[in-house]
Amino acid sequence: MLPTLALLVAGPLAHADVVVVDFVDGTSLDEARVRADLPALEWVHPLSADESLGMAEVSDVDEAIARISALPGVESAERTIRMEALGYPDDPLYGRQWNLAAIGAPAGWRVGGGAGVTVAVIDTGVSRVADLADTELLDGASFVAGEPGWSDGNGHGTHVAGTIAQSTDNGIGVAGVAPHARVLPIKALSAQGFGMSPWIASAIDEAADRGAQVINLSLGGSYSKVIATAVEKAQDRGVLVIAAAGNSGREGVGYPAALPGVLAVSAVGPDDALAPYSSWGAQVGISAPGGDKRKTDGGILQDTVDGEGGHAFKELQGTSMASPHVAGAAAVLLSATGGDVARTRALLEGTARDLGPAGPDPRFGHGRLDLAAAVRRLVVQQQGILFGLGGAAALLLAGLGGTAATRRSRTLVTVAAGAIAAGGLFFLPLLPLPPSPVTALLSRPIALWPAALLPDPYWRNPLLLSAALPFLATFVLGPTRSLGPVVAGLCAGVAVSFGHAAVMGGLVVWPLPAAASTAWLALNAVLTALCAIAAIGVARLRDKEEARP
Amino acid sequence: MTWTGRLERRDIGTGAWVLVTDQGEQLQLVGPVPPELRGRAVVVEGATADALGAAMVGPIVQVKRVRPA
């Protein structure tokens, strides 16, 4: 029963009949097959040949692990754990990413995986390693003296970028938290892994100028005035700044993590205990998997440069690895909420799994990141309510249009259209379906569809966030017999979306100032509602005409 | 400046050299560090750097020379 349940919630599940064997590097496939007495053994992926990592089906996996582990030339043998729900994702090393299972990353993939959101990785640079092949890397920048390009000479920044947006379901290596987010690589740390404060401050300015909505700072040290100013300016522009708490293993959060408004991230291991190296203190806002290499496969596995011109899947640990989990989760939630920074932060903190003493505490902050819970809260509590409001508005509208028995089915159509327009098919991400751009789109309120299709902030332009499209739909499609009630419902739902955004805030029409944006949304909520009334009115007139003998 | 303490390698991020000073402070060493002195008592010559880093284990010292104590 349990495996079935695990399948339903799309959790990780032991794949009972496959053993993964890590041979000493340089072992050839033929040697490996003979040594392990597994003629059917294959490399996990062509790219794992360098690491001599193979897998094979066996009849008794426990027996095989015991037998093979003891052999010379074998570094480890273990059962593979894979995402079994409909085989997604197909990244062969995904089973070793306990960290993604822990935070519920698949839920984030089902709501679009951060599509449309730009995350700046201010680090040692980012190199396009094999498993970043499908990741959208923007043209980056470097502020490191003597290192003009933004490629990674250290391996830290590429690993961090991988946690955020590793190419996922691409048949190679591992997965990332927000594979559809855009990564803006900005180098501010040298190949030796350190950087001067003006480099980092300039990098933060550049990230904000280039439209980053999230900045990940897997770096730290002592207080710097220029960095504090740059962070404050970025935050004033609506950028969510996320930073690693530090690796001192002691109390005392480093800077910039300790700056006001920065979401400081401490690190936990696979057992959800605070990692021994993690700094902690009052400024910690949340914790996330950073790895604990004292445990087998306890590090965070991502693709990065190997220092010899190639790439390698490396397990690293540190609060540097924890921070990008939160940055990726933030990208997912920003995408799904249409760029609502306050709501994203509230979801991250409010749904974190409470660890340590009840309530926020200096070691874990609000708790360990739980993206699946954040997505659930977003879609059920928030979109679900909008779904209901949209349906109610459309029902009211249908009442205006008359509720004669002959029109009941059309009333139903109007109500359904209103509910779906306002709340989206919010329940889709809760189903164990493989993530797809189509279901991710359908799960959003219609007014937020452009957020998944166009880059921020351009999708938030005054034309798309206006009554223009509803008006066009009313004018063109409203008079048709079959689509009139649908258009009326859709307009009612979109009016609810605009009205909700005007009242609750969070959605800012670009490039308007906040007050003008609210007024614009309110005005267009009214105009869109008028479109809905017009559409239902036309439908009613049509019915009357048809009813004449 | 010089510091005395024990030279350690920390498995943090892509790895960092650390001097645990006799006073118990952790300093991250950047620059030429002889790996064979790992675990040994050493004297570090260098200068504190107004820098931040990926390792975040403590204040950064730009190393001129590390020698056995």
Q: Dmax of chain B from CA atoms?
A: 28
Name chain A contacts of B52, Cβ cutoff 8 Å.
189, 194-197, 200, 219-222, 224, 227, 255-256
Annotation marks residue A15 as catalytic: no
Which residue among B31, B57, B59 places its CB closest to the CB of A222?
B59
Q: Which CATH architecture has domain B2-68?
A: Beta Barrel (2.40)
Residue A439: which of A430, A450, A428, A427 has the closest Cα?
Answer: A428
Taking each helix axis from N to C end, the angle separating A319-336 and A341-350, rounded to the nearest 10 degrees, works out to 130
Mention every residue, 6+ apart, whose C-beta is less than 8 A from residue A41: A21, A29, A32, A33, A54, A55, A56
Name chain B contacts of A124, Cβ cutoff 8 Å.
54
The distance of A232 to chain B (nearest Cα, Å) reads: 18
Residue A404: the pLDDT is 52
The distance of A248 to chain B (nearest Cα, Å) reads: 5
Residue ranges of chain A assigned to CATH 3.30.70: 2-83
Residue A250: which of B21, B26, B17, B59 has the closest Cα?
Answer: B26
Which residue among A159, A197, A246 places its CB closest to the CB of B50?
A197
C-alpha A255/C-alpha A262 separation (Å) is 10
Q: How many CB atoms lie within 10 A of CB A10?
A: 24
Name chain B contacts of A224, Cβ cutoff 8 Å.
50, 52
Residue B64: the pLDDT is 96
Q: How many CB atoms lie within 10 A of CB A398?
A: 26
Q: Does B23 touch chain A (CB under 8 A)?
A: no
Name chain A contacts of B51, Cβ cutoff 8 Å.
194-197, 221
In this complex, do B30 and A192 lie within 8 Å of one another by their Cβ atoms? Answer: yes
CA angle A43-A95-A355, nearest 5°?
155
Q: Dmax of chain A from CA atoms?
A: 93
Q: Does B21 touch chain A (CB under 8 A)?
A: no
Annotation marks residue A159 as catalytic: no
Residue A161: which of A119, A206, A116 has the closest Cα?
Answer: A119
Residues (pLDDT < 50) of chain A are 1-16, 82-86, 405
Tokens for A258, please give them. Answer: 């300790």
Round the CA-based radius of gyration of chain B to a whole number and report it: 11
Q: Which fold has domain A2-83?
A: Alpha-Beta Plaits (3.30.70)
pLDDT tens sequence across A59-96: 788 888 889 988 888 988 887 654 444 478 999 999 99
Residue A45: the pLDDT is 62
Contact A57, A17 (CB under 8 A): yes
Which residue among A194, A220, A247 places its CB closest to the CB of B30?
A194
Tokens for A67, please give them. Answer: 């037998």
Which residue among B12, B30, B31 places its CB closest to the CB of A318?
B12
pLDDT tens sequence across A408-444: 778 888 899 999 999 999 999 988 888 988 999 999 9
Indicate which residue of A15, A156, A159, A180 is catalytic.
A156
Mention every residue, 6+ apart, whose C-beta is less than 8 A from residue A367: A286, A287, A352, A353, A354, A355, A360
Residue A5: the pLDDT is 30
> What is the CATH superfamily name and number for domain A96-340?
Peptidase S8/S53 domain (3.40.50.200)
Residue with tokens 């189903």: A431
Q: Does B27 touch chain A (CB under 8 A)?
A: no
The distance of B12 to chain A (nearest Cα, Å) reads: 5
pLDDT tens sequence across B2-25: 999 999 999 999 999 999 999 999
Which residue among B31, B52, B57 places its CB closest to the CB of A247?
B57
Annotated domain spans of chain B: 2-68
In the chain, the amino acid numbered A365 is G
What own/partner pairs with CB < 8 Å and gap ≥ 24 does A465-471 have? A465/A498, A465/A507, A465/A509, A465/A520, A465/A521, A465/A524, A466/A520, A466/A524, A466/A527, A467/A524, A467/A527, A467/A528, A467/A530, A467/A531, A470/A494, A470/A495, A470/A527, A470/A528, A470/A531, A470/A532, A471/A527, A471/A531
Residue ranges of chain A assigned to CATH 3.40.50.200: 96-340
Name chain B contacts of A317, Cβ cutoff 8 Å.
11-13
Which residue among B12, B14, B52 places its CB closest to the CB of A219?
B52
In this complex, do A219 and B12 lie within 8 Å of one another by their Cβ atoms? Answer: no
In this complex, do A318 and B55 lie within 8 Å of one another by their Cβ atoms? Answer: yes
Name chain A contacts of B59, Cβ cutoff 8 Å.
221-222
In this complex, do B52 and A123 lie within 8 Å of one another by their Cβ atoms? Answer: no
Strand partners for A286: A265
Tell me A271's DSSP state.
Answer: T
In this complex, do A124 and B54 lie within 8 Å of one another by their Cβ atoms? Answer: yes
C-alpha A4/C-alpha A14 separation (Å) is 12
Residues in chain A whose Cβ is within 8 Å of chain B: 123-124, 154-156, 159, 189, 192-197, 200, 218-222, 224, 227, 244, 246-248, 254-256, 277, 279, 293, 316-321
Name chain A contacts of B58, Cβ cutoff 8 Å.
248
Return the HEC string of A342-408. HHHHHHHHHCCECCCCCCCECCCECCECCHHHHHHHHHHHHHHHHHHHHHHHHHHHHHHCCCCHHHH
Residue A3: the pLDDT is 32
Tokens for A432, please give them. Answer: 């164990």
In this complex, do B50 and A194 lie within 8 Å of one another by their Cβ atoms? Answer: no
Q: Does B20 touch chain A (CB under 8 A)?
A: no
In this complex, do B54 and A194 lie within 8 Å of one another by their Cβ atoms? Answer: yes
Which residue among A156, A196, A279 places its CB closest to the CB of B13?
A156
Residue with tokens 């189509």: A438
Annotation marks residue A320 as catalytic: yes
C-alpha A249/C-alpha A476 separation (Å) is 65
